[in-house]
């Protein structure tokens, strides 16, 4: 099982979150950014039904590219 499927997000969701929501510093003194976006879910995850999924990528805004460090996924 891949990291993406274990965490329950898609590359498209991460790209949409980074591309459409405001960024903020992820940690003080570290060159990392974060953002978050809610998506309608209306499915089961780990045998429990959730209406909403939130994807919160942590990334570095490098001059040539955005480097995703990790992605947190929340269900509620």
- Residue ranges of the domains in the chain? 3-75
pLDDT tens column, 8-53: 999 999 999 999 999 999 987 788 999 999 999 999 999 999 999 9
* pLDDT-based confidence at residue 3 (cuts at 50, 70, 90): confident
Separation of alpha carbons 48 and 35, rounded Å: 26
Place of tokens 């480097």: 67
Separation of alpha carbons 53 and 8, rounded Å: 9
Query: What three-state secondary structure class fits 15?
Result: helix
Residue 58 · residue 33 · CB < 8 Å: yes
Separation of alpha carbons 76 and 64, rounded Å: 35
Residue 59 · residue 69 · CB < 8 Å: yes
């Amino acid at each position: 099982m891949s990291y993406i499927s274990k965490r329950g997000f898609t590359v498209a969701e991460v790209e949409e979150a980074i591309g459409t929501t405001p960024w903020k510093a992820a940690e003080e003194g570290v060159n990392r950014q974060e953002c978050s976006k809610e998506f309608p879910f209306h499915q089961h995850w780990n045998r429990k039904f959730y209406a909403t999924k939130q994807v919160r990528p942590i990334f570095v805004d490098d001059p040539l590219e955005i480097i995703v460090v990790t992605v947190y996924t929340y269900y509620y």
